[in-house]
């Protein structure tokens, strides 16, 4: 599937460099999303969970 998509892009006049830059931008977007959304949400949930465990222990 990916190979046929690459062939379609290359036959449509899209250069390999443009495809590579697009893929790099996509990966960068995923990493930014992880740092902006996933990691803070995970830290918050861990903090709430630990705080709740301490409150129940009292």
58 — pLDDT class (breaks 50, 70, 90): low
Q: How far is Cα 24 from Cα 16, in angstroms, rounded to an integer? A: 12
Q: Extract long-range pairs of 41-47: CB within 8 Å, 24+ residues apart.
A: none
| Ranges of each domain in the chain | 2-57
pLDDT of the residue at 11: 67
pLDDT of the residue at 33: 92
pLDDT of the residue at 24: 94
Q: How far is Cα 45 from Cα 21, in angstroms, rounded to an integer? A: 35
42 — pLDDT class (breaks 50, 70, 90): very high
Measured distance between the N- and C-terminal CA atoms of the chain, rounded to whole angstroms: 57
Report pLDDT digits (tens) over 3-36: 676 676 666 666 788 888 989 999 999 999 999 9
């Amino acid at each position: 599937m990916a190979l046929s998509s690459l062939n379609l892009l290359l036959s449509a006049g899209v250069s390999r460099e443009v495809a590579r830059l697009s893929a790099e931008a996509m990966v960068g977007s995923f990493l930014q999303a992880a740092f902006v959304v996933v990691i803070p949400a995970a830290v918050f949930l861990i903090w709430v969970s630990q705080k709740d465990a301490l409150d129940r222990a009292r």
